[in-house]
Amino acid sequence: MTAADAHDGLRHLLNEWDPIGVADLVEDEYDCLIAPLLNRLRNGADRAELRGFLHHELTDHFGLSQPYGVDGLADRLTVWWTATHTQEA
């Protein structure tokens, strides 16, 4: 998987998740999460670390008082990352 493929794949997952409901209007709303998530995934982050990061970003950066779907996305990210990197081996 190239860096561009990883970026695009992660953007797709974030836009499907769409916790603030704007992905139909703006394609790059969640791009600020891509590099930090990719760094964490490359460094072996587990679901708990991904969940903590996502929860923090949704509450601090995006201002949501009740972030939803964080656990589900952390699971999806872990599965996606494992699947894409298992195929390379």
Q: pTM for this structure?
A: 0.90
User: Please, what is the angle between helix 70-86 and helix 3-17, to 10°?
Assistant: 150
Parse the chain into domains and list their residue ranges: 3-16+32-86
pLDDT of residue 31: 95
DSSP helix/strand/coil, 54: helix
Average pLDDT over all residues of the chain: 92
- Give the tens place of pLDDT for each residue, 26-58: 889 999 999 999 999 999 999 999 999 999 999
N-term to C-term CA, the chain: 11
* Amino acid at residue number 51: R
pLDDT of residue 26: 86
DSSP helix/strand/coil, 50: helix
Cβ within 8 Å of residue 36, ≥6 positions away? 53, 57
Q: Percentage helix, strand, coil, to 5, in the chain? A: 65, 0, 35
Tell me the pLDDT band of 87, cut-offs 50, 70 and 90. low
